[in-house]
Chains A and B, each alone.
Chain A
Amino acid sequence: MGGTSTTPRIAPGRIVLTVILVIGALVLLLPLVWMVSSSFKREFDIFVFPPEIIPNPFHWENYREIFEAAPFARQYFNSIYIGILNVAGTVVVSALAGYGLAKLRFPGRFLVLPLLLCALLLPTEVIIVPLYALMSRFGWIGTHLPLIIEPVFGAPSVVGTFLMRQFFLSIPDEIEDAGRVDGLGTFGVFRHVALPLARPALATLALLTFLASWNTFLEPLVFTAGNKDLLTLPVALDQYTDVDGTPFYALQMAATTLSILPVLGVFLLAQRQIIEGIARSGLKG
């Protein structure tokens, strides 16, 4: 990180631009500020005119009530453990497939890549109906299995496979040959030579997979079949409504705040890896 802002004079155009960019960023982040602020207000204080950014007085009750009005702790736990299993599974599946595609010669290998590319082009919405039918045939509707098995083996892990393939392509074959000379088999080379080198790529993959799992909406909505105990956070946020479906905004903002904070925390800590990972899987996928 080099602060190279030691240029003797700054052009006035640059200052204007910076001001515009700062205002733009504030506009973009203000919704998140408003979310936090509203989460500390009573329902009817949210809509007072003129709007107040700082809640006066602070009300902490929302953060208690979201746990009482719904199984929010359970849902939070669901998101965490499903995310962890997604990461564990995807790392294995994508590392194996990525390595196979990058380094091993087998019949049909040139067909696999364009085929997998289909998965990246296909919006889940297109296949959600047969996916639902499939899961219901498996007897998995109303369980967490679809939220664990499908992303690990299906379309979401394909992104990871492309990411890992890209990385393994960058490892020179000579390094692996050295391992082979030492008497390692194909899996041994993968496990003891390639995989340790891939640690940074695996970390990026783990981060992106966890984010994707944490943020998925359509699949949990469809596959949990309305069982509140099974919901994950993105779907659970909308559960705080009256009988007509009118939102209790204060509760929703409290729940949303709790669902976003860890993500923003992880993002600020691992910013570089996340951004580079997204740029790489986005552009070279």
Chain B
Amino acid sequence: MKRLTLRRREAIAGVLFVSPQILGFLVFVLGPLVAVLTFGLFRWNIIFGELDFIGLDNYRQMLGDPEVWEVAVTTVFFGFGFVPLTVLGGLGLAVALNRKTKVSIALRTAYFMPVVVSLAAWTIVWRLLLQPNGPLNALLELAGASPIAWLRSPTFALISVIGVQMLKTLGYAMVLFLAALQTVPRELLEAARVDGASPTKRFRHVTVPLIAPFTFMVTVLLTIASFKTFALIHLLTAGGPGIETTVMSYYIYVQGLQLFDMGYASALATTLFSAVLALTVVQFALRRRWIYEGR
């Protein structure tokens, strides 16, 4: 009897301990998520106070709108540019700086610094650097090259937003990979060295397979991060020129909170969320093959 009450007491305590977090999660995460899934089926505008059930009309409108397709393609391009570059760059930096010399430690600090700066501040500084008559073009001119319309040419605008985001995130990936590299047993690398394996071979056949689970996590984290680029797009290009750099997360904001077509924005958000979810599931499904491959 006594034991039972003790256990019950612990259960009550446990529920009380987690309840603030759970309640907050229900109200501020799960509730809004369910709302997004639901209101995608409505014409919804809280300014005019309208809320009509319209079934799949929002989705029909979406699929029929070439603009949406363009935005989707831009979102994919952004992800495919940003994620692999940052993963490889971060891994490269981590391997190069994985030593305890003063120079390496100082360099790590330098590469990590942009991570703690707000994306808004980082973007505002880069917006200045990338102006037509800004310092970057001035350097190009000094080097004898012709200036580039970084933010106004469709191609370079996309390259610019990817680049600015990548430079900011490189240090984050580096830190995650540095943590991963600490898990590789020294003896294993030493044994491979004694067996005559070159540094490249040791990296390829010992380090890479051993840190594969971490590489996987970094890829997942950066994939999710690639959808969280609102401040970058809003401040650097406002989605332009035209809609060339409008990614889905920015398009949702424009439709829902600038044009107040909130039902339509919810349908777009549902689509984006489905894509994030599908991508994460696929990555987890591929995980086994990917991680065992090198062993």
Q: Which residues of A contact B (CB under 8 A)?
A: 1-5, 17-18, 21-22, 24-25, 28-29, 31-32, 34-35, 38, 46-47, 49-51, 92-94, 96-97, 99-101, 104-107, 109, 112, 115-116, 118-134, 136, 150, 152-155, 157-158, 161, 186-187, 190, 211, 214-218, 221-222, 233-235, 237-238, 247, 249, 252-253, 256, 259-260, 263-264, 267-268, 271, 274-275, 278-280, 282-283
Contact = CB atoms under 8 A, between A and B. Distances in A.
B46 A133 contact: yes
Nearest to A106: B14
Contact of B176 (A5, A97, A126, A282): A282
B112 interface: yes
B142 to A, nearest CB: 6
Interface residues of B, number: 101
A268 B109 CA distance: 8
Contact of B120 (A94, A121, A123, A217): A217
A137 B221 CA distance: 33
B288 interface: no
B112 A104 contact: no
B56 interface: no
A126 B75 CA distance: 14
B286 interface: no
A137 to B, nearest CB: 9
A17 B280 contact: no
Given A123-B224, A215-B120, A256-B125, A154 B110 contact: no
Contacts of B22: 97, 112
Given A96-B21, A122-B33, A126-B273, 4 more contacts: A3-B101, A18-B103, A29-B113, A96-B18
B179 A279 contact: yes
Contacts of A271: 109, 112
B257 interface: yes
A32, A124, A252, A275 — most chain B CB neighbours (10 Å): A275
B51 to A, nearest CB: 10
Given A112-B18, A253-B128, A263 B117 contact: yes
B28 A154 contact: yes
Interface string B172-183: 100110111000
Nearest to B168: A28
A221 B20 CA distance: 26
A150 B117 CA distance: 22
Contacts of B24: 93, 152-154, 157
B28 A155 contact: yes
25 contacts: A1-B100, A21-B97, A25-B110, A25-B111, A28-B110, A29-B110, A35-B125, A47-B131, A49-B133, A93-B24, A100-B13, A100-B14, A100-B15, A101-B18, A106-B18, A125-B227, A125-B253, A129-B257, A129-B266, A134-B35, A150-B28, A153-B23, A218-B231, A218-B253, A252-B124
Interface of B: 7, 9-18, 20-25, 27-33, 35-36, 39, 46, 93, 96-97, 99-103, 105, 107, 109-122, 124-129, 131, 133-135, 138-139, 141-142, 167, 170, 172, 175-176, 178-180, 214, 217-218, 221, 224, 227-228, 230-231, 234-235, 248-250, 252-253, 256-257, 262, 265-266, 269, 272-273, 276-277, 280
B118 A234 contact: yes
Given A100-B18, A279-B176, A134 B31 contact: yes
Contact of A126 (B33, B125, B141, B234): B33
Nearest to B217: A283
A47 B134 contact: yes
A24 B170 CA distance: 11
Given A121-B224, A133-B46, A282-B172, A259 B118 contact: yes
Contacts of A119: 25, 29
A104, A259, A271 — most chain B CB neighbours (10 Å): A104
Contact of B116 (A35, A112, A136, A274): A274
